[in-house]
Structure 1
């Protein structure tokens, strides 16, 4: 009897600890209509999609934000697999079907990952300046096995003084949008991020290669790219990396950098609305 009681108490403690763990995602649900899951990019809050949502009709929006960014408590690493796992659990919990996924940058990676895992539930994909294997562009020929969490570069970023980190963030943000006011916002999102999540989460993305799962996706896909720094090279990269994706359309925004929603918002709203209008 005593053993049974102790075992029951142990189970209850384990359950309590499990539920006490911080969540890797937060989701805000609103509206009525076709279910659309909105996935922001690295360090971006879910609110980056608010204006896009306001230009869509008959949509039940599920807007995701990530642990470690925008004041949301961090979770233990590896970070990206936790996001993926909890997003799949959320879709199951909400019983979402005939689902559209809209992702920017890293959010596009998650969208591809989920669409490949749930090919019969995800019917449409919108990928905004997202590439299935960032490492192939940034570090050609380097296998994932050579990407280490405990690298000298990661150590440098973790230990970088706040002022120097802020300068680095401002420099990167200036290359991501033509909109000066929004570049300042992007830099702030990076500076306010949980530093280990920023460092190790980025390492997760460098390790990621989703090209091999593309044939599993059944969803009709719209890929929207930015022409910076060279439109011809950008288009070739998209065509090459998404070669195994069956049903896709690739369109390049005019005069835009990575954050198309800041540089060419009307173009983005029109493309997304047209793509979803048959729902």
Structure 2
């Protein structure tokens, strides 16, 4: 499995894993900023997302293997690994499966617990787009608005549009497989899975993905972890307050 990645800068390898229905490009602004600090930033598209291969199989075990193979192919060692949401679940799995790969681990707004499927409306909207003859991004936005009223969420999803051929837009993600494997997206780490290296969890003060009662679970799986909160932001904490997010990450990886 050869993952697609946009690589920015030179220095210590710093891999970033996007969330469900996203792609590495979602992190371009922050990735560029990290690269200016002496990091070689790898903005990875996970399988069935963006420009990476589409396959019928999809699980965190495979996503974790994909990252390991990517590191081997590119001879990356002692990496900084940051994952948001689904990408955070992948990053946790990589850390538990291949701890020798990682120097510092950062998990943005997700816990190692089970999450019930909660993207149904978004998936309905994207399915409608997938079955439409789209001539422009504006038309796609208009159609998607019937399902998703939040402008920011729509813009995030519409980043997946590309010109498949002249005058015809399509989505980059493997929507059918992602819909079929929706239960996989929320799966938890098993009780035996642990990573003892330095770990930073960052959550959004207005997000409900990491609850107060989840804190013992974070420590159980990641005994050397700490949790920081960015007030006044939701699940897309890195996009809502990029400066605060950037500072927390840099302070953690450079201390």
What TM-score comes out, normalization by structure 1 length? 0.70
TM-aligned CA distance change 1:28 to 1:234, over 3 Å? closer
Q: Which runs of 5+ in 1 are unaligned?
A: 1-22, 140-152, 175-179
CA contact (8 A) 1:100 1:122 kept: yes
Whose Rg is larger?
1
Q: Are 1:66 and 2:46 matched, yes or no?
A: yes
Secondary structure in 2 aligned to 1:170?
Answer: coil
CA-based RMSD of the aligned residues comes to 3.1
Counterparts of residues 14-93 of structure 1 (less than 5 Å): 23=1, 25-56=3-34, 57-70=37-50, 72=52, 74-93=54-73
TM-aligned CA distance change 1:158 to 1:85, over 3 Å? farther
TM-aligned CA distance change 1:274 to 1:129, over 3 Å? same
TM-aligned CA distance change 1:195 to 1:24, over 3 Å? farther
Q: 1: CA distance between counterparts of 2:67 and 2:226?
A: 25
Q: CA deviation at 1:258?
A: 0.5
Cα offsets for 1:191-234 (capped at 9, x unmatched):
8333213313422113x21152542x13201100012256xx94
Secondary structure in 2 aligned to 1:35?
Answer: strand
Q: Are 1:264 and 2:241 matched, yes or no?
A: yes
Q: How many residues align?
A: 228
Q: Are 1:250 and 2:227 matched, yes or no?
A: yes
What TM-score comes out, normalization by structure 2 length? 0.76
More helix per residue: 1
Match of 1:212 in 2: 191
Q: Are 1:170 and 2:145 matched, yes or no?
A: no
Secondary structure in 2 aligned to 1:120?
Answer: helix
Q: Are 1:203 and 2:203 matched, yes or no?
A: no
